[in-house]
Every structure is written in C-alpha cells, then in structure tokens.
C-alpha cells in the first residue's frame, strides 16, 4: 500500500522513523512518501521536504512567515494528488497537518493521525473539526483518550513511543564518551535549549549564566540536529562549556541534572531519570497570545501527565539567573533527587508499556486493508 506521512520537527522525525519501520515490517509492499528528517530518510521511502525548511516558533513567527507557510501547504496538496496514497498519516505538527487533513478528507483520502494535536491545551473547539477530518486518531498520552471521550470521539491510546526509543538503546560507555567529546570527569549538567533558533536564542543565554556558580560541574549543550555549531558558538564564551550535537540521549544517560526547554525533551529527560528544571521563554507577543488561549495548569509534559507539579517550571519572567540558580541547587540536593526518581518511575507506569509504533502500524494497516 501507499503511505503519505507528514511530520514536522525533530521529535516527529524520530517517531515517524519508528512508525515507518513498523509499517514496512507489516507491509512488505509499503511505498512511503514523507515530509520529515534524517531519521525517516534512513529508513527508506522518498522525502518530499526536510522539517528544517519549515520551522517557525510561536504565533508571531508563523504570521511573519505566512507566505512561505501557505506555499508549503499548496505544494503538499499538489504532491499528495500526484502520489495518490491509500492513507495519509499525520504526525503531530497540528498547524500544518490539520489544514491538510481538512482538504484531504473532502477529497475522500483516508486520514489517520498519530500523536494528537494538543487540543486539550487550547481551543478545544477544534475537536469537532478533527472528528470531521480525521478517520482515526492514535494518542500517546494517557489522559487524551478520556479528553476526547467527552466529545464523543473514540480514539486509540497506543502508548508513548519514547518508551521504545529509550529502552532499545545500547548502554553508553561513559569513559569513551567523555574522551571522545573532551569532557572533564566532573558530573554533567545537560543544557537542552530546544531545536529552533528562536527558542535557543531565548533560553541558552540564561542557562549558561550559571556556569561560574557551579564550577564543580561540566556544562554540556545538547545541539539539535536542525542547527549547526556556528550558530551555537556565539553563546559559548567560557571554558567549562562543551557542545555535543545530535547525541542528546547519550548525554542524558550520563547527566546528573538538566535544564530543559519545555516540550518533548522534558519527558525524555524524565524517562532517563535525570532531575530537571523546565524553562520556557517566548517573544512577548507570542507569550501574550498564548496566555489568552492556553488553559493548562502546567506547560511540561511531566507535570501534565502526573497532574501535579513534579518538576519546577520557570516561565517567561521567572526564567532568570537568580531563579534558575536556586532551582538547579535544589535538584542537586539528595532529598529532592530521591523524590524526583520516585515520581519519574510513577510517570513511566502511567505511559504504558512498549510497542507504540507497532501498535499504531497494526491499527493503520488493518484499517486500510479491511476498508
């Protein structure tokens, strides 16, 4: 069968690649065309466009690049019509994907959505449109099934794909890793400032302002695959700062603590059992818009899934050197760390077991084959 997959950023590329592997294993005749990244490209199929070409952070940035966004949407529709897939699979990336889903459903394409848009965070009214435009939804967060049920929309909870991505990794040789990346023997504090230039610019400077206050630790920036070193090096002005690109999981597996930009990385950090402080700062315009439409108590996935504050969130004005220093000091304390480890284990239980990609591939394949 012919599968057209649309993902939007680094996390979508990761989950998309694992879904592609599962689809190919189930369907030997699978023909896949996709929007994604390097990981998906390594699996096979034909890439239409790399996510690096269409990354914009926040409402204001999307508006400023609206002509480019609309051009991508137009091109995507045209490409789908040429390919004529048996099913279109959307992965997260709701701003782009829901527009394509509406168009595709009107033309009777089969529309399946893996990793639900965060309609539970804002504009829940979008659920009615999703019900009309999406034939099947595959959710990875345990509270999403109950959320959709309130709107009489039956969705599938397939488990979280990060469980597989992390559990299936080989153990890292710490000595070799430190030697390869010229790290000291000091305990590591990982800095995960995000993947988009706008968010890295907002976050990384504040994170690095702590270096002189924690001289007994090795600070390491986790470089995103979407950015090159030349962009990061303008922030690196002290000796005890190292940069490692595209090795975030290896880094987290050896880290003592982490400062993490809100997003999927907060959950990844928790699954590696690393105490963290969650950071978020957007442009003032984007933040003011978000404040008016987002109805959540928390911004990190860790706290949302647990429905209580497990990790500290420093948002906008609260993300400053003084607050960040205090919170990092706290998570380096043994008592706080013990409690965090217990909370992290509880979190993992809530996420379900392994097999999210396989579960989703099976459901998609059977639905299309039997239709």
Q: What is the Cα–Cα distance from 319 to 332, expressed in whole angstroms? A: 18
> pLDDT at residue 35 above 90?
yes
Highest mean pLDDT among 68-72, 120-124, 258-262, 350-354: 258-262
Among 7-11, 71-75, 360-364, 366-370, which stretch is predicted with the lowest mean pLDDT? 7-11
pLDDT band for 63, please (50, 70, 90 cuts).
low
pLDDT band for 125, please (50, 70, 90 cuts).
confident
Say what the pLDDT of residue 226 is: 76
Mean pLDDT, residues 212-234 taken together:
91
- CATH superfamily assigned to domain 2-159+355-369: Glycogen Phosphorylase B; (3.40.50.2000)
pLDDT band for 238, please (50, 70, 90 cuts).
confident
Four-residue CA torsion sign, 288, 292, 296, 301? negative
Q: What is the Cα–Cα distance from 328 to 143, expressed in whole angstroms? A: 29
Q: What is the Cα–Cα distance from 91 to 35, expressed in whole angstroms? A: 10
Whether 222 contacts 261, CB under 8 Å: no
Instruction: Please compute, for residue 57, the number of CA atoms within 13 A of its CA located in the half-sphere on the CB side.
Output: 19
| Cα–Cα distance list, 190 to 79, 94, 249, 320 (Å) | 40, 29, 11, 18
Q: Counting Cβ atoms within 10 Å, is residue 171 exposed (0-12), middle (13-18) or buried (19+)?
A: exposed
Q: Which tens digits make up the pLDDT trace of 76-113?
A: 999 999 999 999 999 988 889 999 999 999 999 999 99
> pLDDT at residue 55 above 90?
no
Q: In this structure, what token pair is assigned to residue 85?
A: 């897939």
Domains 2-159+355-369 and 169-350 share a fold: yes
Whether 341 contacts 141, CB under 8 Å: no
CATH node for 169-350: 3.40.50.2000
% of the chain exceeding 90 in pLDDT: 70
Listed residue (296, 297, 248, 299) closest to 271, CA to CA: 248
Q: What is the Cα–Cα distance from 40 to 212, expressed in whole angstroms? A: 40
Listed residue (27, 9, 194, 195) closest to 91, CA to CA: 9
| Sheet containing strand 312-315, strands side by side | 241-245, 218-223, 188-192, 255-261, 276-280, 312-315
Domains of the chain by residue range: 2-159+355-369, 169-350
Say what the pLDDT of residue 352 is: 84
pLDDT band for 290, please (50, 70, 90 cuts).
low
Q: Which tens digits make up the pLDDT trace of 315-360?
A: 988 999 999 999 999 999 998 999 999 999 999 999 988 899 999 9
Mean pLDDT across the chain, nearest whole number? Answer: 90
Rg (CA), the chain: 21
Whether 261 contacts 203, CB under 8 Å: yes
Among 5-9, 100-104, 238-242, 254-258, which stretch is predicted with the lowest mean pLDDT? 238-242
pLDDT band for 272, please (50, 70, 90 cuts).
very high
Q: Which residues contact 220 (CB under 8 A, 6 or more apart)?
A: 181, 183, 188, 189, 190, 191, 241, 242, 243, 244, 251, 255
Task: Report CA dihedral (27, 79, 35, 45) to the nearest 10 degrees.
Answer: 40
Q: What is the Cα–Cα distance from 214 to 233, expressed in whole angstroms? A: 21
pLDDT band for 66, please (50, 70, 90 cuts).
low
pTM of structure? 0.80
Q: What is the Cα–Cα distance from 107 to 50, expressed in whole angstroms? A: 26
Say what the pLDDT of residue 59 is: 52
């Amino acid at each position: 069968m012919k599968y057209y997959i649309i993902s939007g950023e680094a996390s979508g590329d990761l989950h998309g690649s694992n879904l592609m592997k599962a689809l190919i294993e189930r369907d030997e005749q699978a023909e896949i065309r996709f929007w994604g990244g390097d990981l998906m490209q390594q699996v096979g199929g034909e890439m239409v466009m790399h996510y690096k070409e269409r990354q914009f952070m926040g409402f204001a940035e999307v508006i400023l690049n609206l002509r480019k966004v609309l051009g991508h949407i137009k091109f995507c529709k045209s490409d789908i019509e040429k390919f004529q897939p048996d099913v279109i699979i959307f992965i997260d990336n709701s701003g782009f994907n829901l527009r394509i889903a509406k168009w595709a459903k009107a033309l009777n394409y089969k529309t399946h959505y893996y990793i639900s848009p965060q309609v539970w965070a804002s504009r829940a009214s979008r659920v009615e449109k999703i019900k009309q435009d999406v034939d099947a939804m595959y959710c990875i967060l345990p509270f999403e099934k109950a959320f959709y049920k309130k709107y009489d929309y039956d969705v599938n909870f397939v488990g979280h794909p990060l469980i597989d991505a992390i559990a299936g990794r080989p153990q890292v040789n710490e000595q070799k890793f430190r030697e390869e990346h010229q790290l000291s023997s000091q305990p590591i504090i990982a800095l995960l400032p995000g993947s988009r230039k706008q968010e890295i610019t907002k976050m990384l400077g504040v994170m690095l302002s702590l270096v002189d206050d924690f001289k007994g630790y090795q600070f390491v920036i986790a470089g995103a695959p979407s950015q090159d070193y030349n962009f990061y090096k303008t922030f690196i002005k002290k000796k005890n700062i190292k940069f490692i690109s595209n090795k975030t999981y290896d880094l987290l597996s050896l880290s003592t603590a982490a400062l993490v930009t809100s997003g999927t990385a907060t959950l990844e950090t928790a699954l590696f059992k690393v105490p963290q402080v969650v950071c978020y700062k957007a442009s003032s315009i984007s933040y003011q818009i978000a404040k008016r439409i987002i109805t959540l108590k928390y911004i990190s996935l860790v706290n949302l899934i647990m429905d209580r504050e497990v990790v500290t969130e420093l948002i906008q004005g609260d993300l400053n050197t003084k607050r960040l220093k205090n919170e990092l000091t706290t998570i380096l304390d043994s008592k706080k760390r013990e409690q965090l480890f217990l909370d992290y284990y509880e979190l993992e239980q809530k996420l379900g077991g392994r097999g999210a990609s396989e579960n989703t591939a099976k459901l998609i394949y059977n639905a299309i084959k039997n239709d």
